Amino acid sequence: MAEQVLDRIKQVVGPNGWLEEPRDIEPYEVETRGLYHGKTALVVRPGSTEEVATVVRLCAEAGLPIVPQGGNTGLCGGGVPDEDGRNIVLALGRMNKVRSIDPANFTITVEAGVILADIQRIAAEHDRLFPLSLGAEGSCQIGGNLSTNAGGVQVLRYGNTRELTLGLEVVLPDGRIWNGLRTLRKDNTGYDLKQLFVGAEGTLGIITAATLRLYPKPRATATAFVALPDTDAVMSLFAQARAATGDQLTAFELIPRIGLEMAMKHVNGVVDPLEQPYETYALIEVSTASPHGDVGATLEGLLAEAFEAGTVVDGTIAASGAQRDAFWLIREGMVEGQRFEGGSIKHDIAVPVASVAEFLKTATAAVTERLPGIRPVAFGHCGDGNIHFNLSQPAGADKDTFLARWEEFNDIVHGIVAGLNGSISAEHGIGRLKCQELTHYKAPIELELMARVKQALDPKHIMNPGKVVAEAAFNALKG
């Protein structure tokens, strides 16, 4: 039966639309950090929405589970199949057309497989900004960004992917196509259905296209790399930055010394912009689309005020585009650098902005007490309350022994997050990695509502099973 269905799927997508040789499908089976290595009999690469719809209908009829996959840069194992080999992978990379761009309406309509950096580039060619920006932007796809509700470095100014979405086209789990590609900013005609699919991580349907918001392209940008006296100063500086820059604050990234050192050690071209070492840094960026705004003066004013208040003890403003790139290379290089320092237990958490400093202190003390020598690398988009609280293994420790304690450290860190009314997943999603854990942190009524939505849209559970909504959540629907 399954063999026959797979043959029919191959006919639907044609010879360029599927892969089954082990060496060809392996990249689709492995999660980007190597945490999961699943198995699939077939990778389908449809070239159109109609092909996606037919493939999904065939799978629904046969009860074959589907894992949608974009650029496979997701960090929660949502985009890779599980180990039993029954899932087929539906990769959207061939659906990479820009269907239309309307600069006057500040919208662009793209297929799901368009690479994020390409959308940014095409928007810029039309004197517009698509503000979603993250380290994986050269390989992640907009369908994956939508499905994970990706955040990135400019959320505090422009919002996350959810807020950048005006309309969607989705293939539903029974193979029907919902064309919700609206370009409206105002549309109060009942439930906002598109928002169900944003952040659903492929569990409710396959996003095949989206209409996205564009913004005026910034005319001027100013970027500073500053040292702070301690982590207590982080959010005071953030408050000052907001007050001094109005709506021009675009990024506010926390960078710890240990992260800078890891980046300098392992990533080409990363240098410390300051002469003295400090424990805590922030990368601050302001920008304006107005031809009259002087963001350089605004940033200088902010730093003068911060020096006087003692929230900044050293710092420098980028004097050129190259220097700005060098500051951002530190931010991105920290992620890369950690990979060379042995095992790293990751946490992508959010707490209310007012609790960021408390979280940093409490969580650092708790993990250090549990394992002396552990190396917390706490960094990220803390202007929106999001901290990547990654724990590098003690220098010289055994990697596997350390990684075996993943759940133990999750419990410690996520317990503190829950106590501060935070979230155990700020921007990476749930996928497989946090599926079970979510059942401890979501209220039973929320889990039940999630299970009801899933059950209503995908009663056969063929869309990315085992991700986001744990099987246990469906128990509440029985009886």
Question: Which residues bind to ligand FAD, rule: CB under 6 A?
Answer: 32, 67-75, 78-79, 92, 112, 134-136, 140-141, 143-145, 147-148, 150-152, 201-202, 206-207, 335, 427-428, 431, 464, 467
| Minimum distance of ligand FAD from residue 164's CB (angstroms) | 12
Closest to ligand FAD by CB, 404 vs 456, is 456
* Other beta carbons within 10 Å of 370: 13
How near is the Cβ of 35 to ligand FAD at its closest, in Å? Answer: 12
Q: Which residue is nearest to ligand FAD (CB)?
A: 144
Tell me the closest approach of the beta carbon of residue 402 to ligand FAD, in angstroms: 21
Q: Could you tell me the two tokens for 62? A: 């046969």
Which residues contact residue 104 at a Cβ distance below 8 angstroms, ignoring those fewer than 6 apart? none
339 or 361: CB nearest ligand FAD: 339
Pick the closer one to ligand FAD by CB: 195 or 290.
Answer: 195
Choose between 343 and 431: whose C-beta lies nearer to ligand FAD: 431
Distance between CA atoms of residues 49 and 209, nearest Å:
8
**Measured from the CB atom, is 193 or 309 closer to ligand FAD?**
193
Distances, alpha carbon 6 to alpha carbons 9, 14, 49, 55, 205, in Å: 5, 12, 18, 9, 20
In this complex, which beta carbon is closest to ligand FAD, that of residue 112 or of residue 363?
A: 112
131, 215 contact by CB (below 8 A): yes
In the bound complex, what is the minimum distance in angstroms from residue 77's beta carbon to ligand FAD? Answer: 8
Instruction: Spell 123-132 as b/e; 16+ CB within 10 A means b.
Output: beeeebbbbb
What does DSSP assign to residue 246?
Answer: G
| CB of 307 vs ligand FAD, minimal distance in Å | 29
Alpha carbon distance 303, 98 (integer Å): 41
Tell the smallest beta-carbon distance from residue 134 to ligand FAD (Å): 4
Beta carbon of residue 79, minimum distance to ligand FAD (angstroms, whole number): 3
Residue placing its CB nearer to ligand FAD in the complex, 135 or 342: 135
Min dist. Cβ of residue 298 to ligand FAD (A):
25
Kindly state the smallest distance separating residue 92's Cβ from ligand FAD, in Å: 5
Distance of closest approach, residue 294 Cβ to ligand FAD, in angstroms: 29
Helices within 208-320 (DSSP H only): 232-245, 257-266, 295-309
- Distance from C-alpha of 11 to C-alpha of 13, rounded to nearest angstrom: 6
Check the CA dihedral 65-141-109-221 and report its sign. positive
Of 152 and 175, which CB lies nearer to ligand FAD in the complex structure? 152
| Closer residue to ligand FAD (CB): 134 or 226 | 134
User: What's the Cα-to-Cα distance from 208 to each of 192, 197, 268, rounded to whole Å?
Assistant: 18, 11, 38
Q: Give least dist CB 348 to ligand FAD, A.
A: 8
What is the C-alpha separation between 231 and 225, in angstroms, rounded?
A: 15
The structure tokens 């913004």 sit at: 215
> 67 pairs with which residues across the strands?
89
Strands 215-216 and 43-44: unpaired
Here the contacts of 240-243 (C-beta below 8 Å, separation 24 or greater) are 240/302, 240/305, 240/306, 240/309, 240/311, 241/284, 241/302, 241/306, 241/383
Is the distance from CB of 441 to CB of 424 less than 8 angstroms?
A: yes
- What is the C-alpha end-to-end distance of the chain, expressed in Å? 33
Q: Which is nearer to ligand FAD, 147 or 344 (CB)?
A: 147
Looking at residue 408, its amino acid is E
CA 36 – CA 232 distance, rounded (Å) = 37
**Distance in Å, CB of 311 to ligand FAD, minimum:** 25
Structure tokens at 97: 């057309």
User: Which residue, 31 or 355, is less far from ligand FAD as judged by CB?
Assistant: 31
Backbone angles phi, psi at 167, to 5 degrees: -155, 160
Q: CB nearer to ligand FAD: give 68 or 131.
A: 68
CB 67 within 8 A of CB 464: yes
